[in-house]
Amino acid sequence: MPTVYVNDQPVELKPDERLNCIQAAQKAGVEIPHYCWHPSLSVVASCRMCLVEVGDKKPDGTVAMVPKVVPGCQTPVKDGTVIVTNSPKVQAAQRGTLEYLLLNHPLDCPVCDQAGECGLQDFSFKYGRAYSRLAEPKNQKKDKPYIGDQITLFTDRCIMCTRCVRFTREISGTAELQVVSRGSGEEIDIFPGKPCNNKLAGNVVDLCPVGALCSKDFLYEQRVWWLKGKNSVCAGCSTGCSIRVDQNKDVVYRLKPRSNPLAQGEFMCDEGRFGWKYIHSEHRLKFPMQKLPAGITPVSWPQILPALRQALTEAAKRAPEKLAVVLTPFMTVEEAYLLCKFVKSLSPAARLFMTPAPVVGEDDSYPKDLRGQAAPQPKFTIRAEKAPNRAGVELVLQHFGGAVESLDAVLAQVSQGTLEAVYLTAGSPEGWITEEQAKSLAKAKLVIVQDLLDSPALPWATFMLPGTSWAERDGTFVNHAGLAQAIHRGLRSPGDAWPDGRICFELAGRTGIFHAPTIRQEIAGEIPALAALIVGDLGDEGIFLKSAGETASAAGTESQVPVTGGSRS
């Protein structure tokens, strides 16, 4: 077992583990400050922040140290490597580096969006010195407000770590950004007329360790220390990027990708990053409504749920084979399970459907080459399947004996009269039903719509249940590769809307409160395909429903590309 010594603390490595000093120190719980190094990008060792003393422990026990400090990011460790991160020599180097990085850095922390999560602030506080010896005026470069549609550059704040440049070259492959000029004139810039607008462009803002690259969407909206984050999963496509929802006072301000090697790696795409605006749409449904003889009336939850349960029970008694529940790939596993279980308990003859996930274009893999073709080994994939949980709902559906049917096919059955009562769940941010399609609901005796946004189906609904967006729910999403990840409720819903899990839970007449980990364990006991959920708490990274070998077949039920895509390679 190779052993590395970090500040005299032995760290065991796996035999095939190839780490640099920063990663080895991370294993020991020791932080080596760094700016330019990033686990997903190539090593340039240009910021000099990670300077450490490195040595070699000989078999006879003597230690031979390298006589100077070396960049930790560029120095691989092997058995017997000794890393010292806190000697006076290293501390002097860190202070010197920070003083140098701060020479031309403006002191505009109060107006800088990065303040509070800024690498320069943190490391200056921990490793820097209290004063600058620069007596000359600072080198102030002109801001570049248009780097891309979503990106602005405060040139003078940049410390030239070139993470953004390497990202566009190595991960997106589009290479819009580069360093222009040399020496103290160095600046990040785009080629004239070629803005950084690729679908992964938003990541350069996250990568920027200082406040140089800022997101125009978030610019000056909030101070970061006011944001409260909850771990969640992006609902934009079936890649299921691990993210954090940052909100304050129930208003989402931004989504940030979390590092998750099992799901997507370190990044997320701009479609997901900026595609959450519908959460605060004015078309959100806020109150449960019921069609009464007097017209469509807002009703409270304690009134509508028993009425709905009775209506469903009657429909199941009258003609159980004409009662149908239509699931969507936008629901969580828990919601699908609770609803299916409830309807099947009313009558085993009741029918279950799921509308297929919307597919837009084709899977979009990065990095791109010069001609815009994806590289053979993609590092990031934006899936064409624009729904977060097709795989998870499908597994529930298979267990309860349902079928994947298009909405048109279900509605055709309604107009033929083979279905009389339909429970439609939606939650798609795009419209899921057209005016024309909605007209065929006129024939149904009982229409229940559980949705997030206003839709043409509502005038035909006997019961309208306001659900919530994914950011306001607890539950489980299963991505294209069969990775089950937990989503957490990050903010409260507007009006009297309830998280869909709670609606399904209370509709089923269960007592207690909806608690996703408990339901997960119940599901694991009942559905063999979801047995892996038995742990209840899925952790930050989630768990695969099947072991690695079986995963590909689980993902391949629809013409999906094999698993390797999203994760960091």
Partner 1 sequence: MAEELTPISNDDVVWMEEPEMGFWESTFLPAIFSGLKNSLRHVTDFKPVTQQYPEEKPDLPLNYRGVHRLNRDDKGRVKCVACMMCSTACPARCIDIVAEEAPKDDPLWADRDKRPKSFVIDELKCIYCGMCEEACPVDSIELTHIYDLTGMTRQEMKFNKEKLLEVFDKTKDNPRDPIRTHRGVLGPASDFTSLPPVGPATQIPQGDKASKPVSTDVIKQG
CB closer to partner 1 out of 104 and 174: 104
CB closer to partner 1 out of 143 and 435: 143
Tell me how many degrees the CA angle 505-518-474 measures, rounded to the nearest 5.
Answer: 65
CB closer to partner 1 out of 225 and 559: 225
Alpha helices in 426-515 (DSSP H): 435-439, 500-507
CB closer to partner 1 out of 116 and 456: 116
One-letter amino acid at 14 equals K
Cβ 251 to partner 1 shortest distance, Å = 12
Contact residues for partner 1, defined by CB under 8 A: 88, 92, 95-96, 102, 105-108, 110-111, 128-138, 140, 143, 145, 154, 219-221, 223, 225-226
Cβ 490 to partner 1 shortest distance, Å = 22
Alpha helices in 279-425 (DSSP H): 301-318, 333-346, 390-400, 407-416
Cβ 215 to partner 1 shortest distance, Å = 13
Cβ 187 to partner 1 shortest distance, Å = 18
CB closer to partner 1 out of 136 and 430: 136
Cβ 248 to partner 1 shortest distance, Å = 12
Tell me which residue has tokens 């449960």. 288
Cβ 90 to partner 1 shortest distance, Å = 12
CB closer to partner 1 out of 23 and 97: 97
Cβ 385 to partner 1 shortest distance, Å = 37
CA 425 to chain centre: 23
- The set of residues, in sequence order, having a beta carbon less than 8 Å from that of 558 and lying 6+ positions away, is 385, 390
Cβ 249 to partner 1 shortest distance, Å = 11
CB closer to partner 1 out of 225 and 370: 225
* 516-526 and 500-507 helices, crossing angle to 10°: 60
Q: First-to-last CA distance in the chain?
A: 25
One-letter amino acid at 142 equals K
Report the distance separating Cα 530 and Cα 527, nearest Å. Answer: 5
Cβ 53 to partner 1 shortest distance, Å = 16
Count other Cβ atoms within 10 Å, centred on residue 13. Answer: 19
DSSP-assigned beta bridge partners for residue 81: 56
Alpha helices in 113-230 (DSSP H): 119-127, 163-170, 203-207
CA distances, 456 to each of 95, 100, 453, 461 (Å): 63, 61, 10, 10
The pair of structure tokens assigned to 152 is 């602005």
* 301-318 and 500-507 helices, crossing angle to 10°: 60
CB closer to partner 1 out of 159 and 326: 159
Cβ 224 to partner 1 shortest distance, Å = 11
Report the distance separating Cα 213 and Cα 176, nearest Å. Answer: 14
Q: What is the rounded radius of gyration, in angstroms, for the C-alpha atoms of the chain?
A: 27
CB closer to partner 1 out of 142 and 277: 142
Q: Can you list the pairs that 78-81 forms with residues at least 24 positions away whose Cβ atoms lie under 8 Å?
A: 78/2, 78/4, 79/2, 79/3, 79/4, 79/13, 80/2, 80/3, 80/4, 80/5, 80/56, 81/4, 81/5, 81/21, 81/24, 81/54, 81/55, 81/56, 81/57
Report the distance separating Cα 488 and Cα 230, nearest Å. Answer: 6
Cβ 155 to partner 1 shortest distance, Å = 12
Cβ 69 to partner 1 shortest distance, Å = 13
Report the distance separating Cα 242 and Cα 542, nearest Å. Answer: 9
CB closer to partner 1 out of 107 and 370: 107
One-letter amino acid at 191 equals F
Read out DSSP for 36-53?
A: S--TTS-----S-TTEEE
Count other Cβ atoms within 10 Å, centred on residue 360. Answer: 13
Report the distance separating Cα 4 and Cα 127, nearest Å. Answer: 24
CB closer to partner 1 out of 152 and 198: 152
CB closer to partner 1 out of 218 and 514: 218
Cβ 92 to partner 1 shortest distance, Å = 5
CB closer to partner 1 out of 159 and 533: 159
Cβ 84 to partner 1 shortest distance, Å = 17
Tell me which residue has tokens 């301000």. 253
Report the distance separating Cα 338 and Cα 332, nearest Å. Answer: 10
CB closer to partner 1 out of 119 and 128: 128
